[in-house]
Each structure stands twice: as structure tokens, then as C-alpha cells.
């Protein structure tokens, strides 16, 4: 949240900006902002990353990747992780300031979280998001923002920045020139929902514009997105920053401006306060050519300096200045990372083999990903103080454990590794196979550096298929033929075709990219120290053949809300080591009340998901939509009464004109825990006439 005295910081920002010359004003609008000694404004680099830990700034706690945090379905956990990240960022900032080190990635403006909708599993950056559902993304993104920014009444701990605004989820290959065509319904129902929540409820400090166009307008120079929606309709009073290198796209790729001077002016005039890049170096010439006014420069600089003021950069009384470097990457923080991974890992299959008993079987761990750093780190990561991978963690619990790599993407090496794994498997009781991907297979636009990694990566970071790499599939097929007990640990940022594993394996865990301490979390689940409790924040489709074209941004037949085909595993699915039963469920005017009992033998976290279906209309609404989550701990044999509070706004939907509407009629409710509870929970009735709650602002 922005502090209660935000108005005072805006005054400071404006007062400082009014003392600057035109050249000095422009110097503040670039991510590498210059210092101005006469006003005691120090140099500052705005570009800092905190997706799942302070990234690219040396030692830091590397938490599970964002998609793994999303699978916890826990606002509290995401808040705790973000709050810890902000502490580590402050620790690094304070040390750097003391050393007069004003370099990149050592600041307090964190360009996180990524709250784009993971609409297509091919998108390489989907791992950075909170999944495919707008409601889940909205509440988790807001929890992360609140955790980063803190609740101090006078200062912000670190300044969050929600990205990428807007309608941005691949393809990576042509993101610099792509035009995302989205209907008003899809825009406000799906793509902008979480951003609105971030602005109006979490009071996010910054918004980052995307590379692409939306309905013909460049996101970083869009009057529609920045002025009409973000500022005029939602009342956003923070700063807007371009994605890095996005502004030259306005001229070179989108071809919306005839030259760089006009391109820079177009972005600034539309409301892009800060550029990550170099085009704003030309703003002085744009000013001289009368493409921009000094008042516009003053407005943007005022916003940026207000943010810096709220971070305590212009006085010595900020309490966060006392955070010591010793508070970075502590054992307490690493324990939180383990907890986060435990709660995000999703058990997809288990025929009873899990949990394992310690020191009671011979275990062979097979797979490059068991020891592959990138399979734990995902992308946008810091340097771990220590690693705990699966081999070490299992050995700590089961002495008779060995490891073989099993496969290689170097086909000359692969055959020998393959044979070694088959031979050793004969002499073991349980095979733990570590399958999946890493950020050399899926990630951000990578150019030649990672192009074609493992034979799976698309030209620029996206996946072309949902299949496992061929070398993994071939080895798995032969291991299955041995009729050994096999547990699959799959590492990936999204859905993988695991249908063969589902048929033949004894257990399957979706581990995502579980962070530097992820091995410990996985072992804790394998050996029953904790029960798995994660739920899928994305649909696991069978094949890309079931999906629309990657470049089609219509939500028709996308995500659980609109997809009508068969799937491997549905959104919200996840098994535990226990079983929950619903003994009572009733709905009153503004509350759903139910009783849930843990009838198994293990304590566990339970996650109730409440979905609604709209009354019939003459336009397509979601098949069902998640509207509430209740997450709580139940001991073995324990029963709790759970109250889910309901209000009219939980049932608002969006019509084809982009208006927010409250429809007359019955909203059918469905309650599930993604495992054993599946219940038609009744109806929420609106007896009034249908009404438009909020007109579309565009």
C-alpha cells in the first residue's frame, strides 16, 4: 500500500521537480537517473527485479518460482514471501548506499510482480505469473504488492511494479511487433482484472507497459490504456515505466511514429513517465521541436521523485534504513522458501506408494533435472546462499540412495547414460525420475543465447509442444517396462503432457521450479514430513492441438473458464495424503456455511474453491469462474465449520460492451477442494433487474 501521507510525498516530488531545468527533468525520466548534487538527489537505477527473490544482485534467498507460489492458493504465504524479499532488498540497498554503490539491481523499485494471464501453455514466461485465472491472479498479485510495499504509514518499504500492461502473454518471438486483438469483454473480464485490483486495492506504486500493441496502440504509448483506463478510470497516481527497449518498437516495429523524436514524444505524452532504455535521451530534441511541453516533463518527473520520496531517499528518518545486511538470506528466510515449495508442489498421482518410509528401500534417482540448477531456479533469480537439491535431500532421509544422470541432450553421450540408468534400475526398489524442463527450454525472449535448448525451445523462448523432451520419453518408456516402482518428479513452469506417466507411474508430483531449497521440500513430501497441498493454477491440457492459434487472444476455448475439451488435470486439482469430507453445506443471503472434516490420518492444509456460473445471457460467459478461496489447516480427525462471506460484487460479470454488470437471476455455485469434495452448493439469487454497475471507460 502507498503510505497514508502519500500526498506529502507528492508535494515533495513536485517541489523538487519544479527546481529542475528541462535537461535535468529529462535526466530523471530514464531508468539510469542522474544525480543532482545541488538538490541532494543521488544517482538512482530504477531497474530492479524481485519476481521470487531479489534477482541479479548477488546472494539472496531464491524462493519458488511465481507459478509455484500460485499453486499454494495462499494470499498469506505470498504476502510473507514478498515481505521477506522486501527486507532483503532493503538490506542490499542500505549496504550499497553506504558504499556509494549506485549500480543496477541494488535499488528499491522492484519491477515485480508479473500479473499477466497465463492464457496459453506455450508461453515461455507463463512461469512468472500466478496462472490462468483472473481472480486468483488478482488476489495473489495484490498480496505480493502489499508484502513488498509494507504498511508503514509514512514510508514504502520497496515499491512494487505490476507488469506487463497489458494483454501480454506471448508469442515471445514477435513480441516487439505483435498486435494483440482483444474484445472489450475479454479485456476487462480477463486481461485487466488483476491490474485493476493492483491499482485500486493494493495501491501499487508502478505499472510497466508491455512490448506489444493492443488493438493497434503500442502499450507504452497508449492513450487508451494509460490515460483513459489507468489514470482517468482507475485513478492511478503512481509511475508508468516502459518495458526495457520497448519504446524504439514504436518506430521500428509498430511503425506508429515516423522518427525516434516523435516516438519518444508519443510515449511521454501518453503518460509513460520512465523509460527503461535509451530513446528518452532524445527528449530534449523533441522538446525543442515542440513535440512535448515542459509541463509534461514536470508531471512525469514529479511522479518519479514522489516515489523516491516515499521510499525515504530524501531524508534520514526512514525506519527501513536500519535494516542490516545480516538480514539478507537468513536461515529463517530459507525455511520460508522450503515452506513455500511444500505448499506449492502439486501431487497429481499416487497409488499409495507415497509417503515413503525412511531407510526402508533402495532408491535410484534418475534424471539431469535432479542436479540441474536451472530446474530449481526458474528465471529471474538471485545467487543462492546454499542449494538443497533432490539427491542430497533424499540421501538425508534414505541412506541407500544413488543417482545417475540417465539422459543428455548431447545425443553422443545420451546412449551410454541411458544404458547406465537401465542397468542400475534393475538393482533398486524405487526409481525417482526427475523429468521436465528448465529456463533454457522455456522463458523470456532469448535470442541466440538459448535458442533451441534441448531441442524444445521455440525460436524465441516459447514452447512448441507440451511433450517431454524425446530423450526423457525414451528412457521413461524403457524404465516402465522394468515394472519397478516409479515416482515422477516433474519440473516445469506449466503443463506437460504426462499421460504416459499417469498410466504407468506410481506417483507424479508437479514440482514447478521450487527454489534453491526445493529439494528439501520435495523430500519432506516424499517421506511424509508434510502432506502435499498444492492446487493447479493452470489447466493441464493434453496437447497444443486442442488449443486455438497461439496468436489468437480471444478467450474462446482457453483456460478452464472457456475450454470445453478433455484435459489431463483440471484447474484447481491437487491430491493430499488425507481425505476431506463435506458434512454440511448451506447458503443464506450473504454467506455459504459448510462443515469440513479430515477423515484421514495426517494433518493437512485444505483449500476450498468456490465457483459460480452466471444466469443465461445472449452472449458467452465463462463455464464457471472462481470467486472465493478458503484455505485452512485441519488436523487428522478434526472438523471445522467454514463460513464463506458473499457480496453482490462477487457476482459481477462483463458484457460484450465491456460494461460491468449484475445480472438478474440465479448464480449457481459449485464447491470443491480439487480432490474429494465436489458439491453443487446451491444458488445465489439476484431478484432485482439486471443493471450496469460500471460503464466501460473506452
Instruction: Enumerate the active-site residues.
Output: 243
Parallel, antiparallel, or unpaired for β 32-33 and 44-45? antiparallel
The residue whose grid cell reads 514452447 is 463
How many angstroms separate the Cα of 385 from the Cα of each of 83, 329, 515?
19, 7, 12
Query: CA quadruple 682, 652, 566, 608: dihedral positive or negative?
Result: negative
Specify whether the CB–CB gap between 563 and 602 falls below 8 A.
no
Give CA–CA dist 392/372, Å, rounded: 13
Q: How far is CA 285 from CA 259, 265, 272, 480, in A?
A: 12, 10, 17, 67
- Per-residue buried b or exposed e for 530-563, using 16+ beta carbons within 10 Å of the residue's own CB: bbbbbbbbbbbbbebeebbebeebebeebbbbbb
The answer to whether the peptide bond before residue 149 is cis (omega within 30 degrees of 0) is: no
The H or E element containing residue 374 is helix 373-377
By DSSP bridging, strand 159-165 and strand 206-209 are parallel
Torsion of CA 254, 260, 262, 267, to 10 degrees: 60
Which positions ≥6 away from 468 have C-beta within 8 Å? 435, 436, 476, 496, 497
All cell numbers assigned to 441: 527450454
The strand pair at 591-598 and 639-645 is best described as: antiparallel
User: SS3 of 567, please?
Assistant: strand
323 contacts: CB under 8 Å, gap ≥ 6: 87, 90, 91, 94
Angle at 659 between CA 657 and CA 664, to 5 degrees: 110
Place of cell 478433455: 566
Q: What is the dihedral of CA 630, 631, 636, 642, to 10 degrees?
A: -20
> What is the signed CA dihedral for 459, 461, 467, 470, rounded to 10 degrees?
60
109 close to 161: Cβ distance less than 8 angstroms = yes
Within 275-360, strands assigned E span: 346-350
Amino acid at each position: 500500500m502507498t503510505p497514508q501521507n502519500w500526498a506529502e510525498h507528492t508535494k515533495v516530488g513536485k517541489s523538487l521537480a519544479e527546481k529542475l531545468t528541462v535537461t535535468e527533468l529529462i535526466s530523471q525520466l530514464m531508468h539510469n537517473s542522474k544525480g543532482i548534487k545541488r538538490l541532494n538527489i543521488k544517482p538512482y537505477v530504477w531497474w530492479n527485479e524481485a519476481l521470487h527473490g531479489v534477482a541479479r544482485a548477488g546472494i539472496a534467498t531464491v524462493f519458488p518460482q511465481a507459478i509455484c507460489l500460485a499453486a499454494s492458493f495462499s494470499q498469506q504465504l505470498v504476502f510473507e514471501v514478498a515481505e521477506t524479499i522486501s527486507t532483503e532488498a532493503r538490506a542490499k540497498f542500505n549496504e550499497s548506499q553506504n558504499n556509494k554503490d549506485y549500480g543496477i539491481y541494488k535499488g528499491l523499485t522492484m519491477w515485480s510482480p508479473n500479473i499477466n494471464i497465463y492464457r496459453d501453455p506455450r508461453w515461455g514466461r507463463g512461469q512468472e505469473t500466478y496462472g490462468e485465472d483472473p481472480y486468483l491472479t488478482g488476489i495473489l498479485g495484490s498480496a505480493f504488492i502489499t508484502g513488498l510495499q509494507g504498511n508503514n504509514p509514512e514510508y514504502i518499504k520497496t515499491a512494487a511494479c505490476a507488469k506487463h500492461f497489458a494483454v501480454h502473454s506471448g508469442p515471445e518471438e514477435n513480441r516487439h511487433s505483435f498486435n494483440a486483438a482483444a474484445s472489450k469483454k475479454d479485456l476487462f473480464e480477463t486481461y485487466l482484472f488483476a491490474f485493476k485490483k493492483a491499482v485500486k486495492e493494493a495501491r501499487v506504486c508502478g505499472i510497466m507497459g508491455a512490448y506489444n500493441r493492443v488493438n493497434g496502440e503500442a502499450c507504452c504509448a497508449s492513450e487508451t490504456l494509460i490515460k483513459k483506463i489507468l489514470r482517468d478510470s482507475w485513478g492511478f497516481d503512481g509511475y508508468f515505466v516502459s518495458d526495457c527497449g520497448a519504446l524504439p518498437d514504436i518506430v521500428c516495429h509498430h511503425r506508429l511514429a515516423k522518427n525516434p523524436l516523435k516516438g519518444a514524444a508519443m510515449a511521454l505524452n501518453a503518460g509513460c513517465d520512465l523509460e527503461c532504455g535509451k530513446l528518452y535521451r532524445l527528449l530534449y530534441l523533441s522538446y525543442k521541436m515542440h513535440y512535448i511541453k515542459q509541463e509534461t516533463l514536470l508531471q512525469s518527473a514529479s511522479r518519479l521523485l514522489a516515489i523516491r520520496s516515499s521510499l525515504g531517499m530524501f531524508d534520514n528518518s526512514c525506519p527501513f534504513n536500519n535494516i542490516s545486511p545480516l538480514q539478507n538470506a537468513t536461515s529463517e528466510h530459507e525455511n520460508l522458501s522450503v515452506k513455500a515449495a511444500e505448499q506449492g508442489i502439486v501431487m497429481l498421482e499416487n497409488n499409495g506408494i507415497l509417503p515413503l518410509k525412511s531407510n526402508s528401500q533402495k532408491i535410484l534417482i534418475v534424471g539431469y533435472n535432479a542436479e540441474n540448477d536451472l530446474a530449481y531456479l526458474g528465471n529471474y533469480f538471485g545467487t543462492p546462499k546454499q542449494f538443497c537439491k533432490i539427491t542430497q535431500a533424499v540421501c538425508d532421509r534414505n541412506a541407500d540412495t544413488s543417482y545417475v544422470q540417465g539422459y543428455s541432450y548431447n545425443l553422443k553421450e545420451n546412449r551410454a547414460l541411458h544404458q547406465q540408468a537401465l542397468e542400475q534400475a534393475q538393482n533398486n526398489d524405487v526409481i525417482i525420475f526427475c523429468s521436465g524442463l528448465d529456463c533454457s527450454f522455456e522463458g523470456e525472449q532469448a535470442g541466440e543465447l538459448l535458442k533451441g535448448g534441448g531441442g524444445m525451445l521455440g525460436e524465441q523462448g516459447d514452447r512448441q509442444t507440451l511433450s517431454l523432451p524425446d530423450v526423457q520419453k525414451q528412457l521413461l518408456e524403457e524404465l516402465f517396462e522394468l515394472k519397478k516402482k516409479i515416482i515422477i518428479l516433474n519440473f516445469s513452469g506449466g503443463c506437460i503432457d504426462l499421460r504416459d506417466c499417469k498410466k504407468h507411474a506410481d506417483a507424479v508430483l508437479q514440482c514447478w521450479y521450487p527454489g534453491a531449497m526445493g529439494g528439501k521440500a520435495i523430500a519432506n513430501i516424499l517421506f511424509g514430513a508434510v502432506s502435499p497441498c498444492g492446487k493447479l493454477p493452470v489447466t493441464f491440457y493434453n496437447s497444443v492441438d486442442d488449443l486455438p492459434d497461439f496468436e489468437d487472444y480471444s478467450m474462446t476455448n482457453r483456460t478452464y473458464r472457456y475450454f470445453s475439451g478433455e484435459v489431463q488435470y483440471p484447474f484447481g486439482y491437487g491430491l493430499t495424503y488425507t481425505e476431506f469430507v463435506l458434512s454440511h453445506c448451506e447458503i443464506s443471503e450473504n454467506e455459504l456455511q459448510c462443515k469440513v472434516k479430515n477423515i484421514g490420518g495426517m494433518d493437512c492444509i485444505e483449500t476450498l474453491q468456490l465457483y459460480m456460473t452466471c444466469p443465461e445471457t445472449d452472449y458467452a460467459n465463462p463455464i464457471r469462474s472462481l470467486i472465493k478461496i478458503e484455505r485452512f489447516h485441519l488436523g487428522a480427525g478434526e472438523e471445522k465449520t467454514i463460513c464463506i462471506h458473499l457480496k453482490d460484487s462477487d457476482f459481477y460479470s462483463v458484457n460484450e460492451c465491456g460494461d460491468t454488470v449484475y445480472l438478474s437471476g440465479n448464480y449457481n455455485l459449485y464447491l470443491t477442494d480439487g480432490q474429494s469434495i465436489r458439491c453443487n452448493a446451491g444458488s445465489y439469487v439476484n431478484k432485482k433487474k439486471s443493471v450496469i454497475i460500471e460503464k466501460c471507460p473506452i
